[in-house]
Structure 1
Amino acid sequence: MGESSSKSIYGDAAARRRRTLDAAAALLDEGGYSALTIRSIAKRSGTSVGLIYQYFTDKQDIFTSLLNESQIESRSFVATLPRDRGVAALLAAVIPESTKQWGRVGRFTATWRDIEGDDRTERESVRQVRRTAREYNTELHRALTQAAASEGRVLRDEPSMLPFVLSALQGVSDTIVHNWATDLDHAELTRFVADSLTRAITRDDEPGTQT
């Protein structure tokens, strides 16, 4: 057991990288972005500073790897959701996943931007984050469009529609993660937000309407 365990953690590159990211996620949860240092990540993951630098440039690279991973997971999740139950049901399914990803890494994005400033803008890892964010947005828009069509409705054809949905998902996720609404059941909040968003972003389909 000791030999195989040691090999899985220290002898396998993918396992070492995964262990580093998991340690970083735990430190984020405990102390936010400022708690991330290469030394603290090495200590939490049970590895060395030098070994971490073999896989990541710095702590910003580790954070963007987590953020990128989060957006890929969210896109894949949305892609698997059924479309035939309507928009409200789809949004009600998206909210728990959004909350999970927001609690793990998304809520620290603003702090990361403030601390790193312009130094982050030209990094390849940041460009990748932008790409996966666009891919998630595209997948969510496709899912909402198809869910609306399944109940004879269309999405409002306005530039603000998708940013509005994304902002609402972020807001409800933050409320749940931080338990801002202490007297409100999270399932009831999810249902209300999903129903309210559906009314705001859809309208009845009409003959000849372009979707």
Structure 2
Amino acid sequence: MARDTRERLLDAGLALFAGKGLAGTTVSDLEARAGLRAGAGSFYRHFTSKEALFEAVVRQELDRFRASIGDATPGESAVADVKITLALEFHQTLTTLGQLGRLEAIIHRDAAAMGDLFDEVEGLYNAALDASAARLGQLMEAGQLPRRDPQALAVTIRSTLIGYHLNTQSFRRSARRVPPADLIATLIDLISSK
């Protein structure tokens, strides 16, 4: 039961911090969202403060982000066709962006409150970019992609995918005029053309 209550508080924190921010969320809001009786002390049996829950929520989402970086990395048995390999990686990136939407909202709303956690987010983002640049560089060395600056290409790809994701969140109907598969195919055509 204690683990269940902790999980409910984490879920409540993720939803409320993403929607209202740290400053706009009260312990009473968190208790209500988690289905706890306000003022009964259940919250404080699991977290010392609202800020402690905020940190736990961000850490939980960072762990998901960290795991997704590994998921987007083709292994040794990756499909030999570079276009299929890239399509799978780009699709995974868009999927991950969708799953981490609440972390994204928290970062945009409360970056200053994150302290050292923000540096960790930035470090993970840079690690994902570096891994992508390394994979692109390997594909260039193997002659499967035209030679370009792999770091610049990785930033271009990531920026395109993030921009598409943000557009679909902000302008749902307009952005969906181009389905994700069409965006991915166009991006692959652009980066693989000589």
Assess same fold via TM > 0.5: yes
Q: Partner letter of residue 160 of structure 2? A: A
Q: 1:126 aligns with which of 101, 118, 139?
A: 118
Q: Partner letter of residue 82 of structure 2? A: G
1:50 Cα deviation from its structure 2 partner: 1.3
Q: Partner letter of residue 32 of structure 2? A: K
TM normalised by structure 1 equals: 0.65
Name the structure 2 match of 1:97: 95
Note the residue ranges of structure 1 that are not aligned, 5 or more in a row.
1-5, 11-15, 205-211
Q: Please say which of residues 165-174 and 98-107 is displaced more in the overlay.
A: 98-107
Residue 22 (structure 1) aligned with residue 18 (structure 2): no
Contact 1:23 1:41 in 2 (8 A): yes
Q: Partner letter of residue 190 of structure 1? A: P
Q: Partner letter of residue 64 of structure 1? A: V
Note the residue ranges of structure 2 that are not aligned, 5 or more in a row.
37-41
Q: Partner letter of residue 71 of structure 1? A: F
1:69 Cα deviation from its structure 2 partner: 2.6
Residue 84 (structure 1) aligned with residue 74 (structure 2): no
Name the structure 2 match of 1:71: 65
Residue 198 (structure 1) aligned with residue 188 (structure 2): yes
Aligned positions, number: 184
Q: 1:20 to 1:141 in 2, by over 3 A?
A: farther
Q: 1:156 aligns with which of 141, 148, 160?
A: 148
Q: 1:184 to 1:50 in 2, by over 3 A?
A: closer
1:147 Cα deviation from its structure 2 partner: 5.8
Name the structure 2 match of 1:135: 127
Higher relative contact order (CA closer than 8 Å, sequence separation 6+): 1
Q: Distance in 2 between matches of 1:153 and 1:167?
A: 19
Q: Distance in 1 between matches of 2:50 and 2:71?
A: 27
1:102 Cα deviation from its structure 2 partner: 4.2
Q: 1:19 to 1:159 in 2, by over 3 A?
A: same
Name the structure 2 match of 1:44: 33
Q: Distance in 2 between matches of 1:138 and 1:183?
A: 28
Residue 58 (structure 1) aligned with residue 52 (structure 2): yes
SS at 2:95 equivalent: helix
Provide Cα deviations, 1:95-117, integer angstroms capped at 9, x if missing partner: 4313423423224422222xx3x
Q: Distance in 2 between matches of 1:147 and 1:55?
A: 49
Q: Partner letter of residue 180 of structure 2? A: T
Aligned-residue Cα RMSD (Å) equals 3.5
Q: 1:195 to 1:86 in 2, by over 3 A?
A: same
Name the structure 2 match of 1:106: 104
